[in-house]
Structure 1
Amino acid sequence: MHPLIETFSKIEVFKKLKISQIERLVKNREIIFRRYERGELIKGRGEKINEVMVLMSGKVRGEMNDFNGKNLVVEEIKAPNFLAVNISFSREAILPVDIVSEERCEVAYLKKEKIFELASENIDFLKALVEFLGSKFYFISQKLWFITLNSLKEKILIYLASKYSGGEVVVLDKSIEQLSQLFGSTRPALSRAFSLLESEGIIRKEGNKIYILDKDVIDFYV
């Protein structure tokens, strides 16, 4: 099987297509492929999206910056996956975030009309696409709740709970800088919040290792 066809077939929505339909997309050159280096801007906030983007390889992040220069990572996406597909099918189709490559990656660009054509040919593909768009809306709603309705201390506890597997140690897979972007805070504020949790006897932080001292608190957020 052609590597490009294999990559497309790994995406949940495209799994509903016949291999012959995916082959037709690739072989008829109805897809444009572009490569990006680490840290490169793929699409900028405010740009109009006229196509459907698929991340074929690598990893990207969607981020926003406020007037004070504070950076907020809205989402991290690993290949293979759609990029901003919910925006592509919106009426305005204006991108609300910057899409930046976190490592070398490749993005495929398809015309929206081609997706409509595939949906008209395959009802299972249409259903999968609608379900995917619904799940993106749910994700954004949860992200908004996480950012706006929780204190910084609660955000840390929610994050630790998501990584907690019942042991005594949670190993952070992100730096303080990365976590501050994820939480929409500054690095000093996040460090102070960690110190506050330590002073309250809930955790003990040693580098990227978080020792859970009060499991009842963590269990509350699981």
Structure 2
Amino acid sequence: MKKYIDSIKNTVLASSLPESEIYNQLIKGGFKVENYSAGALLHIDGEECTSLDIILSGKIVVERIDLSGNLLTISEFHRDDILGGNLLFSKQPFYPMTITAKTPSSILSMDKNTLFQILSENPEFLLTYLEFISDNAAILGNKIKHFIKKSIRESIMAYLEYESKRQKSTVIQLDMTKKALAERIGVERTSLSRELGKMRKEGLITFDGKSITLLS
């Protein structure tokens, strides 16, 4: 436990937190330290962001596969960097790309409620957090704009594949309207309906008002 407390306390973001607070959060589960081997997936494209991740050690990369099958590294993160800070309190808190451990890595995850409590009670932590997410959003946003040009079909499939894994079924139950789904993946509703129709004609999916079934 002591090594975790020291490692967390030595990060820029958490340096303002008392050791007693770090200890209590580790005991209560508000803070969780997780270790990843090289090549392990931290988050996949379309996954909901539910915690703030602080890198305690290792190298983390944001990656995507382009239309030619090439693996592109969009950005790299190292000790003291954070993941999910610009997504966690968003109305659309979903990772836009896959996040992978490039080397063996250790990550501190703060759940959303715990983070909100700390932000409310610790002005120094709040200021540092705002600086982090502002810098990260600017850097990552520019790189995403440069690399990402997803087609409507790619966006639909990324969503369906994530929900299929989450629901553990190829019959994906929809908990939103088609309009909300279109907003979720960032396309016009008419474009979504048109592409779903094409995918059905090609034998990729079937769908009704409440579900979409992956056929291949």
TM over 0.5: yes
In structure 2, what residue type is equivalent to 1:12?
V
Q: How many Å apart are 1:102 and its aligned residue? A: 1.1
Q: How many Å apart are 1:94 and its aligned residue? A: 0.6
Aligned to 1:143: 143
In structure 2, what residue type is equivalent to 1:13?
L
Alignment root-mean-square deviation, CA: 2.3
Structure 2 distance, partners of 1:145, 1:43, is: 20
1:162-190 deviations in Å (ceiling 9; x for gaps): xxxxxxxxxxxxxxxxxxxxxxxxxxxxx
In structure 2, the CA distance between the partners of 1:2 and 1:80, relative to structure 1 (3 Å rule), is farther
Q: How many Å apart are 1:145 and its aligned residue? A: 7.3
Q: Say which one has the larger Rg.
A: 1
SS at match of 1:32: strand
Structure 2 distance, partners of 1:36, 1:90, is: 26
Structure 1 distance, partners of 2:30, 2:82, is: 17
Aligned to 1:95: 95
Aligned to 1:11: 11
Aligned ranges 1:125-204 → 2 under 5 Å? 125-143=125-143
Structure 1 distance, partners of 2:69, 2:125, is: 41
Q: How many Å apart are 1:121 and its aligned residue? A: 0.9
Is structure 2 residue 27 aligned with structure 1 residue 49?
Answer: no
1:72-127 deviations in Å (ceiling 9; x for gaps): 21211122432232122322111011111111222232211101101111111111
1:34-92 deviations in Å (ceiling 9; x for gaps): 32221121211111111222222221111122222132212111224322321223221
SS at match of 2:87: helix
On the 8 A contact 2:75/2:140 being kept in 1, the answer is no
Aligned to 1:21: 21
Q: How many Å apart are 1:142 and its aligned residue? A: 4.4
Q: Stretches of 4+ moved more than 4 A in 1? A: 144-148
In structure 2, the CA distance between the partners of 1:20 and 1:33, relative to structure 1 (3 Å rule), is closer
Structure 1 distance, partners of 2:38, 2:46, is: 22
SS at match of 2:91: coil
SS at match of 1:87: coil
Structure 1 distance, partners of 2:36, 2:19, is: 27
Structure 2 distance, partners of 1:111, 1:68, is: 37
Q: Aligned residues, how many? A: 148
Structure 1 unpaired stretches of 5+ = 149-222
Aligned ranges 1:81-92 → 2 under 5 Å? 81-92=81-92
On the 8 A contact 1:7/1:80 being kept in 2, the answer is no
1:120-171 deviations in Å (ceiling 9; x for gaps): 11111111111111111221244357769xxxxxxxxxxxxxxxxxxxxxxx
Aligned ranges 1:71-86 → 2 under 5 Å? 71-86=71-86
Aligned to 1:105: 105
On the 8 A contact 1:8/1:80 being kept in 2, the answer is no
Structure 1 distance, partners of 2:88, 2:69, is: 27
Structure 2 unpaired stretches of 5+ = 149-216
On the 8 A contact 1:31/1:108 being kept in 2, the answer is yes
In structure 2, what residue type is equivalent to 1:17?
L
Q: TM-score, normalised by structure 2?
A: 0.61
On the 8 A contact 1:63/1:73 being kept in 2, the answer is yes
